[in-house]
Amino acid sequence: MHLRVLAIAWLIALAGCHFQGDPPGEAPSGVVVEPGDGRVTVTWNQEPGLTYWIFYRPGSSVAAVDPDAQIIFRAVSPHVVSNLVNGTQYAFVMNATKDDSRAGPSSPIELETPRLAGASWVSGMPLGEPPPQNLNGIAFSGTRLVVVGDSGTIFSGAYNYTSTNPPVTAWLPPTSLPAVTTSLTAVTYSSQFVALGMDGPVLTSPDGLTWTLAANPVPGAGMNGIAFGAGAYVVVGNGGNIFKSQDLVTWTPVMSNTGSDLYSVSFLNGGFVATGANGTLLTSADGGNWTAQTSNTANALRGAAFRSTPTALSVVVGDAGTVVTSADGTNWTATALAGAPNLRSVTSGGVLGTRFLAVGLVGAVVFSDDGINWTPTTAGSLGLARVIFTPAMYVAVGAAGANAIAK
């Protein structure tokens, strides 16, 4: 509504100028509407000197004169139209003005229906100099992505939904990086990016480009996961090791109630969840006191996710297609997916945060809108280690510099 009021006001202003130029003789060309998650992306052949208008509404028809059409004025290709309803068909049409002229001819109507992301994947070029290193972790600040991997590999980029170099404007190496050659196993974002090395070093960065080595490493080897929540950082690793810190300076060992290797830790629904070998599943409200849950599987568990709507549900994934679910965080049910994909990471996403999506070895991808029925797809042939959901787009990274998106 706000856009339409502004557009009408601009048209009135144009009318007061008595239209200084002749309208364009042709309609905007090359108009393409690509569906996304709660949005579409409109592209066209943008000509210099023209001002472009997009008109749209639900249904199968739309015209610039329709009183209920939504208006986007001074649009620049590509333009993302957001706040759309998934599963609803929309009609789009464009015209243009020139030098405050009347509108020229309208383009043909384009019909498109937004839908949840996750089914179709596009792979980017492998990150890193040949041979590219394995990528083990990914974090998102709200505006910037950071990925970390073997041999101290770090790349970062500004989030860009419409970029042809998915999912950032450009992947950039650090401008400043301490001499760290150990594998970086995980990265998280609090008010800064924090990367974890397998042998305990901790790196911090305010922008993903300039990195500083924390004075005190985590006092343990085989560190696999890091998460931030409730004012604390929690690190997990082999042998059931768990360490906690509030300042990245003092690391306190925590009793984990397990001797099994721990592969991941997440802060979900106000608490921490750690997963590991032999079906290990631990939960904690504060990262200091942990409860061993009965996962009802002996398979290794690799990652966890939570959604709050339409019903609260936690999902944990792991080897041999293992999926473990719980509605209350206490009682867990284990199932095995057909094809037994070895899953490494899971997240919740979609415009309402209702879809679970997991990735794993050999490019395996499965997604579910209820945590019970899962649809398989693929994101190439390389193993995927981690997946997150950024606005309207899943981003996954993995073996040999693999990076892929679904939107």
Q: For every one of its 407 residues, what pLDDT tens digit does the chain have, with 9 covering 90 and above? A: 444 544 444 444 444 444 567 999 999 999 999 999 999 999 999 999 999 999 999 999 999 999 999 999 999 999 999 999 999 999 999 999 998 899 999 999 999 999 999 999 999 999 998 999 999 999 999 999 999 999 999 999 999 999 988 899 999 999 999 988 899 999 999 999 999 999 999 999 999 999 999 999 999 889 999 999 999 999 999 999 999 999 999 999 999 989 999 999 999 999 999 999 999 999 999 999 999 999 999 999 999 999 999 999 999 999 999 999 999 999 999 999 999 999 999 999 999 999 999 999 999 999 999 999 999 999 999 999 999 999 999 999 999 999 999 99
Q: Are residues 234 and 308 in the same domain?
A: yes
Q: Are residues 23 and 147 in the same domain?
A: no
Q: What is the CA radius of gyration of the chain?
A: 24
Which residues in 86-143 belong to E strands, given as ranges?
A: 90-98, 110-112, 122-123, 135-140
Distances 335 to 301, 330, 398 between C-alpha atoms, Å: 12, 16, 25
Inside any domain, residue 99: yes
- Asked if residues 179 and 190 have their Cβ atoms less than 8 Å apart, the reply is no
Among candidate residues 112, 144, 168, the one where a domain is terminated? 112
Q: Are residues 206 and 66 in the same domain?
A: no
Inside any domain, residue 117: no
Q: Are residues 42 and 148 in the same domain?
A: no
Among candidate residues 88, 112, 136, the one where a domain is terminated? 112
Inside any domain, residue 396: yes
Q: Are residues 310 and 193 in the same domain?
A: yes
Q: Is the entire prediction scored with pTM above 0.95? A: no
Cα gap 90→62, rounded to integer Å? 9
Q: Are residues 82 and 178 in the same domain?
A: no
Inside any domain, residue 240: yes
Inside any domain, residue 64: yes
Q: Are residues 291 and 212 in the same domain?
A: yes
Q: Are residues 68 and 134 in the same domain?
A: no
Q: Are residues 53 and 131 in the same domain?
A: no
- The letter for the amino acid at 229 is G
Read off the tokens for 144: 């910037």
pLDDT of residue 15: 42
Q: Are residues 101 and 127 in the same domain?
A: no
Cα gap 151→163, rounded to integer Å? 28
Cα gap 351→85, rounded to integer Å? 9
Q: Are residues 102 and 138 in the same domain?
A: no
Among candidate residues 61, 85, 112, the one where a domain is terminated? 112
Residue found by looking up tokens 């009183």 in the block: 67
Q: What is the CATH number of the domain that holds 323?
A: 2.130.10.10
Q: Are residues 85 and 155 in the same domain?
A: no
- The letter for the amino acid at 34 is E
Inside any domain, residue 197: yes
Q: Provide φ and ψ at 137, rounded to 5°.
A: -150, 160
Other Cβ atoms closer than 10 A to 286: 15
For 95-112, letters b (16+ CB in 10 Å) and e give bbbbebbebbebbebbeb
Distances 337 to 1, 36, 158, 185 between C-alpha atoms, Å: 46, 27, 36, 27
Q: What is the CATH number of the domain that holds 85?
A: 2.60.40.10
Inside any domain, residue 315: yes
Q: What's the total number of domains in the chain?
A: 2
Could you list the residue range(s) of the whole structural domain that residue 161 is in?
122-406
- The letter for the amino acid at 36 is G
Cα gap 292→329, rounded to integer Å? 11
Inside any domain, residue 258: yes
Which residues in 76-192 belong to E strands, given as ranges?
A: 79-81, 90-98, 110-112, 122-123, 135-140, 144-149, 154-158, 184-189
